[in-house]
Chains A and B, each alone.
Chain A
Amino acid sequence: MGTAAAENFLKQAREVQEDELSRFAARVAAQLQGPEPGAEAADCLQRLHLVLAASKSPRQLDAQLVELLQTVLCSPKCPEQIQLLCAAILREMAPCDGLRLSCHRIQNTKLLSLVSSVLLAQGEEKAAVSAVGQRIVKALEGRLPEGQSSRYLLPVLSNVISLSPEALTEEQINVVSKKMADWLRYASTQQGVAQPSGGFFSNPRTRQPGPVTEVDGAIATDFFTVLSLGQHYTEDQWLNMQTFSMLRKWLLCYGGKEMNTPNSGDKSEVDRSVMSVVSTSSMSSRLLPPKERLREKAFEYCQRLIEQSNRQALKKADGDLQKACLIEAVTIMDIICKQDSSYVYRAASFLKILHGRISGDATYARALLPIAQFFLNHGEMAAVDSDAIYKHLFTDIPAQLFHNSSLAFEFVLFCKDNSRLLSETSSIFRRSFPNLFKFLAWNSPPLIAEFVDILPFLLDAGTAIEIFHLLLDLPCLTAALDVQMRSSSLPSAERAACDPAVKPAACLEAFRNPLYRSTFQYLLRVESVSEDFQERLIPLRQLLGSLASSGRVMQCADTVPVLLELFFSVVAEFADASLINQLVVLVLQRSDQLYEIPAFKDDVHRVLSSQLVMLCKLRPALVVELSKELLEFSGTVSNIQNKEPIFTQVVWAIGEYMSVSYDKRCTVEQINRFFESLEAVLFEVTQIRPQASVPSYAPRAITVLMTALTKLAARSQDLIPRVSLFLSKMRTFVQSPAVTSVYCEEDREEILIRATELMNLLKMPSVAQFVFTPSVDVAHTRFQKEVNDTLPSALRIVTRLLEPAPGFVPG
């Protein structure tokens, strides 16, 4: 749409100067004051509107012009276009000083609606909103002048009660409720008459219009609703449509037991006691107070709509409307039942039948959500077994319709709004998390924020491990869903199973290969399973790597780090020792079983490494309990290249927590074993091979290794000479030409300084021991915490104590 041209226009409009605007405003005023404002006046008003709208800060308009705009707006002979433009300008300027507009004397309902839109946009005082509300109700109550239609009034009323429910008195609420009940239930079932076009050949005796029809063309079988079709509509049919359109809001606002209007008094007490005696059967409905009568008629209307949704609409657009009507009808029934529980039995049996009818139809899937909501709210009272409904909802729908983004959004929102209730009511919610995550895997950007709220409700000791794996494999799930979709769109001949002996070259083939089938089925499962499929996922993950660069997969991968962090923060609150240990082992294992997207792997490593630290701080004893796994991980040199963040934190944790203070079972042998392993790694990493190029290991890995070795030596003091010797060789390492070419000066300096400080600390073994191996209660004092946090500076202090003269003292 010519964005460059639009951009230009906006820029010009913004740059109009104040004096230019004044001159232009005067011109507009002159146009409007003329006898019949026409096309030129409209043109001017359009430009004026743009100038006002284009700037963020308000523009001042001459008070006379503002006055004139209001006059012109209300003048009966003004063309509609001019009126619309005046109203648009007045709204654009809101809040507008000098607004004298009032709706009290306006008889033309269409103009009343337009003027109301200006008044309601001003926005400060409830009184102004209330005044509009009063005028509208008055117009609805009384007889309108000839030729005026009520149908412009209801939307204004709807807006009024949204802005200020207190705008109407109790009496007015009752009057309007009564009218609404009549409009809903007793609108004409005959089609309207065409307005006679006049002219010489028009026949004043118009044909009898005939009855309205259903959406499938059949003659209407019962009272008029929004799904009744006709060529022309009568006034009360318009009101029927509009009443239904605002019905939910009206009921929510005024249908409840507590009146939030100022005029509720003793009268309502009498009403209520009458209500309790009178039954809700329609025979005595005339005796019902207006609110209760409206409820009754609304309920009947909803039932009729639900029945009408069974018909096959002739036009697709009407079919879409049917579905929207169905959703609205069920929602309104739910509200009615909340407001009056005597409706629950009728509604429950009706909705159970409806559910049976639509549950197999994918085009009606969205309507299953309000039905499930109803049973969540009222199922217990209705003594209906709603498990079948939840089971179908959570088991079948996500698997079949994850790609329908509107359904996905509404489904996830349903889960979010009902997380607590769902986890208490039925185990199916929590068990279905693999299915729920399909929505996120396919439609990541709009759903990630909502999943952040749902995840805590899905996590417990039973699901934590499986969810951990699922989160790490979420982009794989996206890829698998893609393969599944493409496979199901193939003609059936091409979908036959492949020869299992032939290794599949591509994902689509793999989907049909019997050996891979069960692994695909595991990824695409609908429910939590206890079996561990991790080993079998490895080859499939590799195969799915061909899809790793797809936009959808990458958007999903972006959501994983944030979900992982959330996962750990929630799990930390309830995890016991066994679960924490399990997670640490899995972090180590999974760190090289990740989907092959480089940025994704880096982000996941970063998150896992920080969460590893969190887990170790939570339960330091795990370092001793998992010494075997940690030894193996920290002893593998390649881990420094592939998973530097995790490696670094593992080594840090070993140095920090491998100590009798944290676990009495820590033995000298264990400390020595770790020492030797880490020493070997550090040796490997600092070896200078003149012929080969030095692979660059992160400097942080080197310093953390040195520090860990020193800490271990402080606890098993026989090791001190070995460490000191090693540390003393760091100067040579750092100064060698091979290293100078690979590491920058700051890094080399950092390594050297740290080596020196550690050596110096080891010269005072008892100090070293205190600093590095505090007793646990000391560790929690402020002093020790500070020392731990500021270890480098503590080391520097010690260094200065030992070296009063500046310069490096070789060990």
Chain B
Amino acid sequence: MVLAFVLLSPGGPPPVGAGPCRVLYARCFGPPPQGRLLRKEQLLAVARQVASHCHLQQASSGRPPAPTLPEDPAPLHAAPGGLFQLPPGDPFPGRVTVTWLAATAVAFALVCEPHENLALAEVTLRLLAGRLMAVLRPPGPAVLLRPDATDLLLDRLLPHGQLLFLSQSFLQALERDGAGRAAR
């Protein structure tokens, strides 16, 4: 099961930062921790780790940081991304695996339980990221003000944190149904 989906802005790489790391949207599916503050802090901790891995990967690949706001975002299958683990207690009670993907000035992450099907998680994340980038254009703080758009996508592609084995046909059928309902 996916414990959380996080959409964040990674901020700039240390030491010169172009802004701190911020959680722009987060949805939790797992057992809620004691209290809302702890939940927020857990999500921020994940976001920071993603931002850090994002910057490290950028440094190691030798690619210059992506220019801000290009007209057409780079295709997601070439986007930087990766997997890492967080140990028990830091910040979730159990150990978790995080799969992440970076796009222009924003990054996406799925926090998974151990022994989750990571190949499927990566496929799902790429799908979510692609759909979100399409829905939330033009880019701006749109994602902050449209949690319903993100929720709708999550309900479709990751309902209650359940990863789905969706072929292209199933995906098209899903989206057709969704569009049909919206039209009614």
* B19 interfacial contact with A, CB 8 Å: yes
Chain B: which residue is nearest A367 at the CB level?
B119
| Segment from A16-24, A154-162, A723-731 that makes contact with B | A154-162
* A699 interfacial contact with B, CB 8 Å: no
Q: Which of A113-128 contact B (CB under 8 A)?
A: 113-114, 116-117, 120-123
Contact present for A159 and B162 (CB under 8 Å):
yes
Q: Contact flags (1/0) for A407-419 with B, using CB distance below 8 Å? A: 0011001000000
A256 to chain B minimum Cβ distance, whole angstroms, is 15
- Determine the chain A residues whose CB is within 8 A of the CB of B74 once the complex forms: none
Within the assembled complex, what's the spacing in Å between the Cα atoms of A87 and B97? 28
Contact present for A94 and B32 (CB under 8 Å):
yes
B136 to chain A minimum Cβ distance, whole angstroms, is 8
- Determine the chain B residues whose CB is within 8 A of the CB of A152 once the complex forms: 159
Q: What's the interface size class on A, roughly?
A: 35 or more
Whether A328 contacts B29 in the complex (CB less than 8 A), given A58-B36, A88-B151, comes out as no
- Determine the chain A residues whose CB is within 8 A of the CB of B28 once the complex forms: 121
Contact present for A445 and B56 (CB under 8 Å):
yes
Contact present for B29 and A446 (CB under 8 Å):
no
A561 to chain B minimum Cβ distance, whole angstroms, is 17
Q: Contact flags (1/0) for B81-110 with A, using CB distance below 8 Å? A: 011110100000000010000001110000
Within the assembled complex, what's the spacing in Å between the Cα atoms of A746 and B81? 51
A56, A114, A245, A445: the one contacting B165 at CB < 8 Å is: A245
- Determine the chain A residues whose CB is within 8 A of the CB of B60 once the complex forms: 444-445, 550-552, 555
* B173 interfacial contact with A, CB 8 Å: yes
B131 to chain A minimum Cβ distance, whole angstroms, is 13
* A7 interfacial contact with B, CB 8 Å: yes
- Determine the chain B residues whose CB is within 8 A of the CB of A163 once the complex forms: 30-31
Within the assembled complex, what's the spacing in Å between the Cα atoms of A46 and B57? 35
Contact present for A47 and B165 (CB under 8 Å):
no
- Determine the chain B residues whose CB is within 8 A of the CB of A246 once the complex forms: 162
Whether A10 contacts B61 in the complex (CB less than 8 A), given A163-B31, A226-B167, A241-B164, comes out as no
Contact present for B123 and A324 (CB under 8 Å):
yes
- Determine the chain A residues whose CB is within 8 A of the CB of B19 once the complex forms: 3-4, 7
Within the assembled complex, what's the spacing in Å between the Cα atoms of A333 and B143? 41
A219 to chain B minimum Cβ distance, whole angstroms, is 15
Q: Contact flags (1/0) for A422-449 with B, using CB distance below 8 Å? A: 0000000000000000000001111001
A8, A10, A245, A320: the one contacting B123 at CB < 8 Å is: A320
Contact present for A6 and B22 (CB under 8 Å):
yes
Within the assembled complex, what's the spacing in Å between the Cα atoms of A433 and B152? 47
- Determine the chain B residues whose CB is within 8 A of the CB of A444 once the complex forms: 60
| Segment from A78-86, A138-146, A684-692 that makes contact with B | A78-86
A215 to chain B minimum Cβ distance, whole angstroms, is 7
A4, A50, A325, A449: the one contacting B145 at CB < 8 Å is: A50
* A42 interfacial contact with B, CB 8 Å: yes
Contact present for B165 and A450 (CB under 8 Å):
no
- Determine the chain A residues whose CB is within 8 A of the CB of B37 once the complex forms: 56-58
Whether A159 contacts B160 in the complex (CB less than 8 A), given A6-B22, A233-B173, comes out as yes
- Determine the chain A residues whose CB is within 8 A of the CB of B120 once the complex forms: 324, 327-328
Q: Contact flags (1/0) for B45-60 with A, using CB distance below 8 Å? A: 0000000110011011
- Determine the chain A residues whose CB is within 8 A of the CB of B53 once the complex forms: 445-446
Q: Contact flags (1/0) for A581-605 with B, using CB distance below 8 Å? A: 0000000000000000000000000
- Determine the chain B residues whose CB is within 8 A of the CB of A192 once the complex forms: 173
B11, B106, B165: the one contacting A241 at CB < 8 Å is: B165
Contact present for A1 and B143 (CB under 8 Å):
yes
Whether A159 contacts B1 in the complex (CB less than 8 A), given A226-B167, A450-B85, comes out as yes
Within the assembled complex, what's the spacing in Å between the Cα atoms of A263 and B177? 40
Whether A1 contacts B140 in the complex (CB less than 8 A), given A227-B167, A446-B83, comes out as yes
Within the assembled complex, what's the spacing in Å between the Cα atoms of A445 and B117? 22
* B180 interfacial contact with A, CB 8 Å: yes
Whether A446 contacts B165 in the complex (CB less than 8 A), given A1-B139, A324-B117, A366-B119, comes out as no
* A323 interfacial contact with B, CB 8 Å: yes
Within the assembled complex, what's the spacing in Å between the Cα atoms of A47 and B168? 35
Contact present for B105 and A9 (CB under 8 Å):
no
* A5 interfacial contact with B, CB 8 Å: yes
Contact present for B31 and A233 (CB under 8 Å):
no
* B118 interfacial contact with A, CB 8 Å: yes
Chain B: which residue is nearest A159 at the CB level?
B160
Contact present for A95 and B36 (CB under 8 Å):
yes
* B79 interfacial contact with A, CB 8 Å: no
- Determine the chain B residues whose CB is within 8 A of the CB of A413 once the complex forms: 85, 97
Contact present for B32 and A123 (CB under 8 Å):
yes
A157 to chain B minimum Cβ distance, whole angstroms, is 9
A6, A158, A327: the one contacting B141 at CB < 8 Å is: A6
* A179 interfacial contact with B, CB 8 Å: no
A730 to chain B minimum Cβ distance, whole angstroms, is 43
Within the assembled complex, what's the spacing in Å between the Cα atoms of A710 and B145? 75
Within the assembled complex, what's the spacing in Å between the Cα atoms of A283 and B127? 41
Whether A113 contacts B155 in the complex (CB less than 8 A), given A1-B9, A162-B30, A449-B85, comes out as yes
Q: Which of B119-173 contact A (CB under 8 A)?
A: 119-120, 122-123, 136, 139-148, 151-152, 155, 159-170, 173
Within the assembled complex, what's the spacing in Å between the Cα atoms of A324 and B127? 14
Contact present for B148 and A331 (CB under 8 Å):
no
* A232 interfacial contact with B, CB 8 Å: yes
Whether A318 contacts B148 in the complex (CB less than 8 A), given A3-B11, A113-B160, A159-B160, comes out as no
A377 to chain B minimum Cβ distance, whole angstroms, is 13
Within the assembled complex, what's the spacing in Å between the Cα atoms of A612 and B18? 44
* B78 interfacial contact with A, CB 8 Å: no
Contact present for A122 and B11 (CB under 8 Å):
no
A116, A123, A241, A405: the one contacting B166 at CB < 8 Å is: A241
* A249 interfacial contact with B, CB 8 Å: yes
Within the assembled complex, what's the spacing in Å between the Cα atoms of A158 and B116? 14
- Determine the chain A residues whose CB is within 8 A of the CB of B16 once the complex forms: none
Chain A: which residue is nearest B127 at the CB level?
A317
* A577 interfacial contact with B, CB 8 Å: no
Query: Which of B32, B57, B60: most chain A Cβ within 10 A?
Result: B60
Whether A249 contacts B151 in the complex (CB less than 8 A), given A58-B36, A406-B83, comes out as no
Within the assembled complex, what's the spacing in Å between the Cα atoms of A57 and B36? 8
Contact present for A328 and B160 (CB under 8 Å):
no
Within the assembled complex, what's the spacing in Å between the Cα atoms of A226 and B29? 24
- Determine the chain B residues whose CB is within 8 A of the CB of A297 once the complex forms: none
Within the assembled complex, what's the spacing in Å between the Cα atoms of A215 and B62? 38
Contact present for B40 and A409 (CB under 8 Å):
no
* A106 interfacial contact with B, CB 8 Å: no
* A2 interfacial contact with B, CB 8 Å: yes
* A513 interfacial contact with B, CB 8 Å: no
- Determine the chain A residues whose CB is within 8 A of the CB of B83 once the complex forms: 405-406, 409-410, 446
- Determine the chain A residues whose CB is within 8 A of the CB of B155 once the complex forms: 84, 113-114
- Determine the chain B residues whose CB is within 8 A of the CB of A324 once the complex forms: 117, 119-120, 123, 165
Q: Contact flags (1/0) for A551-590 with B, using CB distance below 8 Å? A: 1100100000000000000000000000000000000000
Within the assembled complex, what's the spacing in Å between the Cα atoms of A555 and B55? 12
B184 to chain A minimum Cβ distance, whole angstroms, is 10
B31, B41, B104, B170: the one contacting A123 at CB < 8 Å is: B31
* A195 interfacial contact with B, CB 8 Å: yes
- Determine the chain B residues whose CB is within 8 A of the CB of A233 once the complex forms: 169-170, 173
Q: Footprint of B on A, CB under 8 Å?
A: 1-10, 13, 42, 46-47, 49-50, 53, 56-58, 80-81, 84-85, 87-88, 93-95, 113-114, 116-117, 120-123, 152, 154-156, 158-159, 162-163, 192, 195, 215, 226-233, 241-242, 244-246, 248-249, 315, 317-318, 320-321, 323-325, 327-328, 331, 366, 405-406, 409-410, 413, 443-446, 449-450, 550-552, 555
Q: Footprint of A on B, CB under 8 Å?
A: 1, 9, 11, 18-19, 22, 24, 28-32, 35-37, 40-41, 52-53, 56-57, 59-62, 69, 82-85, 87, 97, 104-106, 113, 115, 117-120, 122-123, 136, 139-148, 151-152, 155, 159-170, 173, 180-182
Sorted nearest first, the 4 A-B pairs with minimum C-beta distance are A123-B32, A155-B159, A446-B84, A159-B160
